Amino acid sequence: MSLSRQLTNPLTLIALAVIGMVVIDAMLLGLFQPLENFFGDRMLRIHAAEQIPDPDIVIVDIDEHSLAEMAAEVGRFPWPRSVHAELVEGIARQQPRAIIFDILFSDPDLMRLEGDDYLAEVLSRESHMFLPMLRLTDGNDAGGLSLGEHGRRLGIMAGKAAVEDARVAMVLPLPALIKQGHLGAINFLEDEDGVGRRYAIDIDAYGWSIPSLPATVSRALNYPVPDQENIQLSWRGERLSYRRIPYADLYQDLQLQRSQRPINELRDKIVIIGSTATGLVDLRVTPIDNAYPAVEILATAIDNLKRGDYLRSVPKWISPLLAVLMVLLFLFGFRRLHSPLKVGFRLALFTPLLMVAAYVALDSYRLQLPLFAPLAYSWLFFVAAALYSYLNELRARQRSIAIFNRFLDPRVVGELVDHGETVFDMRGEKREVTVLFSDIRGFTTLSEQSTPEQIVALLNDYFSRQVKVIFHHGGTVDKFIGDAIMAFWGAPVDDPDQAVHAVTAALEMSEALLAFRESLGESGTEFDIGIGIHTGPAVVGFIGSENRLDYTAIGDTVNLASRIEGQTKGRCRVLVSEETRQRCGELFDFHDHGSYKVKGRAQEVRLYEPRRS
């Protein structure tokens, strides 16, 4: 097929239309992104269920139980800062690797200022204390913190393009606490659908890098920190999967003279003090849960950096490229297999295999592949191409039925069409056939006594009777030539007994003639026919133009059958050749009429008259 015909092929046009949708969607619309996120999140949940949180990360949890237990002793939350100071003192005695607050101490406790001083004093003695801050993205930066003046003291580093007089709106811990602790931002990064899948490493602000709290902790503990803006989180289990110690239980135990808890349960641990209580509304939407505690998101980010197993995202152009390649692959499949069912089976098999491959990439390489859009576009192309193929096949089937019905028994037509044969499958082939020619005798006298309308009606009646006989014996009606009939056996359906069927049909056509003559009365006494039959090779198939195709047989066999029919005049009604007689065996009595010279043949032809045994 030439390139121009390939490009204008309907299946190619469907593929190009789908590819156009891929490009437009990738550049402008993002129609499949919500579904990509949905299925990606489902895979993340499945993967997370098999992941074990780092046992060295422990959350001291301000949970519902702690809020109730502490209410009678220190009042409702927020508790005095002295309570947190006492807790830190007790934890520090066990020599943890780090103590991290997921609580913003941004405002002074005006009713209990001594508590703020006590907390500042305790933090000043600890070298591995970490406190959160918050970058206000919707704040008034113009009235915010001067980065040139205070940024470096907060751990905010200037990049090459840093604006020296830049100001940033931020929520910071109390100044007394800033002096003692390492700081990091705890901004929640959410995608366009409101789901948090990533955690910041460094937040850019006018060329300054504001470190996140997980990044600050990791750098202080000498964990490798990637040189990128954020990481895609690799989740661990369901919500509340990290080891948690209720705040109240730990605090109350530390007040005892003799601890009831293990003496060094927090030794060398990374301790995060935060809340999972629903009432404190520190919950976020994540792929794992719609109410995921922010403190566990922080724990997950530190866990990922500690192990270095955060997820890697592929470039955005990978998804549309994969979609285009898959559409082209299945376009090739349609052209190669010529069967929507076979292509659909391969696509149905390919879909789960690709999902398994995506899961293996996620589990083994921490690589999240965007596969929904490529699969969706592949199925879209398949449905459109399969629908076109079905409608095209339906049209071809209907056309084939209409054409086949002109020269075949409807039962044979059904068999051919059910096997998928079309007019395009039978363009021409050499086969052995048995050709029958039948011509009318004595028709001139009858036509002189009838009107044109009567002649047409008479011929239609006669042809209908004879075609019925031919069809009954499996013959193919080639054409009507004036008042003559040409038929053959052996194509398009193979017939090993083609000669027997052709001779039987000729004898029944003779009998049908007698019945037809009786219907004509005295006017039909001179109405007769001659039938000639010959068996031999011929080229059979559809011949004609695009708008007019006829299934016919051509060759010397056809010409000889016609000449034999001409020899019946004055001799008998049916004559067959030596080749046909031999293929009939002993099923008929054949009367030998001798050899005759026929036009177009140098050698004489021996002819026989068949009679029923």
What is the band of 404 on the pLDDT scale with cuts at 50, 70, 90? low
Which H or E element spans position 520? helix 498-520
pTM for the predicted model, two decimal places: 0.69
Question: Please, are residues 185 and 155 in contact by the beta-carbon 8 Å criterion?
Answer: no
Quote the CA–CA distance of 588 and 497 in Å, as a whole number: 13
The SS3 of residue 244 is: strand
Q: Which value, to the nearest 10 degrees, does the dihedral of the CA atoms of residues 395, 400, 406, 408 take?
A: -140
pLDDT in tens, 521-577: 776 777 889 999 999 999 988 776 666 667 788 999 999 999 999 999 988 999 999
Least confident of 111-120, 178-187, 217-226, 292-301: 178-187
The SS3 of residue 37 is: helix
What is the band of 119 on the pLDDT scale with cuts at 50, 70, 90? very high
Report CA Rg, the chain.
Answer: 46
Residue 125 has pLDDT above 90, yes or no: no
Which H or E element spans position 262? none
| pLDDT average, residue stretch 416-442 | 74
Comparing CA positions, the residue from 370, 235, 236 lying closest to residue 316 is: 370
pLDDT in tens, 168-197: 999 999 988 887 668 999 999 999 889 999
**Degrees (nearest 5) of the Cα angle 432, 433, 438?**
160
Alpha helices in 366-442 (DSSP H): 372-404, 410-418
Alpha helices in 81-162 (DSSP H): 81-92, 113-124, 147-150
The SS3 of residue 321 is: helix
Least confident of 23-27, 414-418, 493-497: 414-418
Say how many C-beta atoms besides its own lie within 10 A of residue 290's C-beta: 12
Question: Please, are residues 22 and 324 in contact by the beta-carbon 8 Å criterion?
Answer: yes
Quote the CA–CA distance of 86 and 141 in Å, as a whole number: 36
Quote the CA–CA distance of 231 and 214 in Å, as a whole number: 11
| pLDDT average, residue stretch 494-508 | 94
What is the band of 243 on the pLDDT scale with cuts at 50, 70, 90? very high
The domain limits of the chain are: 3-31+316-396, 53-308, 409-612
**What would be the CATH architecture of the domain defined by 409-612?**
2-Layer Sandwich (3.30)
Quote the CA–CA distance of 161 and 155 in Å, as a whole number: 17
